[in-house]
Structure 1
Amino acid sequence: MTCFRQDIRTLFISDLHLGTPDCQAQLLVDLLRRARPERLYLVGDVFDLLAMQRRAVLPRQQQAVIARILRLARSGCEVIYIPGNHDAAFRRLCGLEIHNVSVRRRAVHRLGDGRRLLVAHGDEFDGHVRMAPWLITLGDRTHRVVMTINRWVNHWRRLTGRPWWSLAGAVKRRSGTAQRYVAQFERLALHQAEREGFDGYIGGHIHQPGFAQQDGRLYCNDGDWVEHCTALVETISGTLELIDWRGQRLLNEPINDCGADIDEALAHAPA
C-alpha cells in the first residue's frame, strides 16, 4: 500500500457510479482511508440512480465508500456534494446540509494561491457538444460491452495478483471520436469560466481525466472511478495534480498554456 502524502489541502472526485457493478469501490476506499484533506468535493454521479432503476447493486465495498465519506464529514473535513446527471434527483436537495455534507448545484473553489475555479459536474454542456445521435447510441452500446469485458479482465488480473487496469480507458485513448468529444468539452468549460470571470473550471462527467489551459485559464477534469480511478488534488501550496488510486502523481497542472498529456501518463502508469 502506498503511503499517502500529507500535503493535500483539497480532494476532488467524481463519477463513482455507486449502485453499479462497474464502480471500483475498493480502490476508492483505500484512497479515502489514507487521505486527510481539509475539503472534499464530490463532483457528480456519486450514485448512478439511472442504472439502479434497472438493477441496484450496492455491495459491502460500495457501502464502505459512503461510510468513509460520512466519517470524513464528521471529523471536520468540509464535504461538498454536487449532484450530476446520473444522480440528478438529489439536485432538489441543493442548499441543504445532510449529515455534515453540503449539497450544491455548483461551487466556487479558491485555491491557496488565490485563483478562483468554478466547480460543476459538466453535464450542463451536453446540449452544446456536436455529435450525431446515431454515433452517441453506438458509443453507449459499445461502452457497455467494453465495461462488461473490463470486469472479467480485472477479475482475472486479481486472481493472478496483478493490479487493476482499465481496458475501457485504453480503448477511449485510441478513439479519435472520443478525443474530439473531449476537446469540445474542454473548450466549452474554458469558455464558461471566461464568461463568468473565473480562473478555471473543475468538472467530471466525461470520464476523461486531464488538464488544459488557454489564455491563462485552467481546465481540470478529475476523471472517474469506473474507467480511470483518478482524483484531482490541491496541495498546500495551491497547485493542482492528478493522482491515481494509489495516491501516486500522474500529472501536474500545465504552466504557460503548455499541454498536459494524460494519455501518455496513463499509458505508462504501472499495470
Structure 2
Amino acid sequence: MTPPTKHYRAIWLSDIHLGTRGCKADFLLDFLKNHESEYLYLVGDIIDGWRLKKSWYWSQSHNDVIQKVLRKARKGTKVFFIPGNHDEAARQFLNITFGDIHVVDEMIHTTADGRRLLVIHGDQFDGVIQYARWLALLGDWAYEMVLSLNHFYNLCRRKLGYPYWSLSAYLKHKVKNAVNFITAFEQVLAEEARRRELDGVVCGHIHKAEIRMIDDILYCNDGDWVESCTALIEDWDGNLFIMEWTDNHQPPHHKKQVHEDSDSIRRVVTSN
C-alpha cells in the first residue's frame, strides 16, 4: 500500500552527488515521491562535476531524480538551486532561471515563525577548498574509495537481512581530525549568520546532518544522499527536523525523537 504524500512548508537537500556510483538516487527518488513542499532548496553538490570530468557515470535513476525535481517546479514548488564546489560550474548562471528552477548563490529563508536563516552550501568557508584545491581533490578520491567499500559492505548487510548503515560516515566521525574540522566548520558558519544579524544558517558540504544551537545561532545541516540519506524539513508551524530515509522504497516510521533547546527545534530520525 502506497503511503500518503506528506506536505511540508520547506525541504532542504544537498550533497546528492548525481553522477557518482555512491549516490543513493533510488532512496532520494522514493523520498521525493512521498514528500511535497512549498519551497525546495537544493543546497549544492547536486551533480558531481568533479567526478564526471574524470569518468562518466549516469544511471536512469539519476535522470529520474532530475525529472522529478523539474516536475515539482512545473507544478508550483518554489525550487532554488544553490551550487556547491562539486557543481561550481553552475555559478556562472547565478540569478538565472532554468525550467522554473532559480539558480542563486545563497538565500535568506524566513520560517513560518519568523526566524531568518542563511541558506548556503558552505564550501566558501572551507579553507581546504579555497586555498589547497589539490588537497581537496585528493580527499575526494579517497572519499570515493571509501564510498565504494561502503556500497559492497551494505550489499553484504542486505543479504544478511540487516538495514542500510553508513560505514563511511562511521569511519569519518571516528577520525579526530575530521571531527575537529566539522566542529570548526559549524562554528564559522554560525559566526557568519551572527555577523549578518540572522537567526541561523542552513548548509551542506560536510555530509553531517545536524540541528543545534551554537550560542544564540541556530545551526542546521541537511546532510547528504551518499551516506546518511537525510533531508532538513520545516513544517507549517516553523518547526525544523531532520528526516533520514535509508530503507529504499519503504515508508519510514518514527524511531526516536529528541527535543533540543526549545519547542521549535527538534531532530527526528526515521527508519524501518
Give the aligned partner of residue 254 of structure 1: 260
Question: Following TM superposition, by how much is the alpha carbon of 1:171 offset from its aligned partner in structure 2, in angstroms?
Answer: 1.2
Native 8 Å contact 2:6 2:34 kept in 1:
no
- Amino acid in the other structure paired with 1:122: G
- Amino acid in the other structure paired with 1:201: V
Distance 1:11 1:18 in 2: 18
Give the aligned partner of residue 206 of structure 1: 206
- List aligned pairs for 1:211-226, cutoff 5 A: 211-226=211-226
Native 8 Å contact 2:252 2:271 kept in 1:
no
Give the aligned partner of residue 38 of structure 1: 38
Whether 1:175 aligns to 2:181 is no
Native 8 Å contact 1:8 1:233 kept in 2:
yes
SS in 1 for 2:37: coil
Question: Following TM superposition, by how much is the alpha carbon of 1:167 offset from its aligned partner in structure 2, in angstroms?
Answer: 0.8
- Amino acid in the other structure paired with 2:261: I
TM-score normalised to structure 2 length: 0.87
Give the aligned partner of residue 93 of structure 2: 93
Give the aligned partner of residue 244 of structure 1: 244
Which stretch of structure 1 is more off in the superposition, 214-223 or 136-145? 136-145
- Amino acid in the other structure paired with 1:26: D
- The change in CA–CA distance for 1:88 and 1:197 in structure 2 (over 3 A counts) is same
- The change in CA–CA distance for 1:171 and 1:41 in structure 2 (over 3 A counts) is same
Distance 2:240 2:252 in 1: 13
SS in 2 for 1:86: coil
SS in 2 for 1:36: strand
Distance 2:134 2:82 in 1: 30
Q: Percent identity, aligned pairs only?
A: 38
Give the aligned partner of residue 28 of structure 2: 28
Distance 2:32 2:258 in 1: 21
SS in 2 for 1:71: helix
Distance 1:19 1:160 in 2: 29
- List aligned pairs for 1:1-271, cutoff 5 A: 3=3, 6-127=6-127, 140=140, 142-245=142-245, 254-255=260-261
- Amino acid in the other structure paired with 2:38: E
Native 8 Å contact 1:240 1:253 kept in 2:
no
Kindly indicate which of the two structures has a greater share of residues assigned to strand.
2
Unaligned runs of 5+ in 2: 246-250
Unaligned runs of 5+ in 1: none
Question: Following TM superposition, by how much is the alpha carbon of 1:163 offset from its aligned partner in structure 2, in angstroms?
Answer: 3.2
Question: Following TM superposition, by how much is the alpha carbon of 1:162 offset from its aligned partner in structure 2, in angstroms?
Answer: 4.1
Distance 2:93 2:228 in 1: 29
Distance 1:68 1:161 in 2: 30
Q: Over aligned residues, Cα RMSD in angstroms?
A: 3.0
Deviations along 1:13-53, one digit per CA (max 9) or x if unpaired, are 00000001000000000000000111100000000001100
Distance 1:139 1:6 in 2: 37
Distance 1:133 1:33 in 2: 37
Native 8 Å contact 1:241 1:251 kept in 2:
no
- The change in CA–CA distance for 1:251 and 1:45 in structure 2 (over 3 A counts) is farther
Question: Following TM superposition, by how much is the alpha carbon of 1:217 offset from its aligned partner in structure 2, in angstroms?
Answer: 1.3
Native 8 Å contact 1:14 1:204 kept in 2:
yes
- Amino acid in the other structure paired with 1:103: V
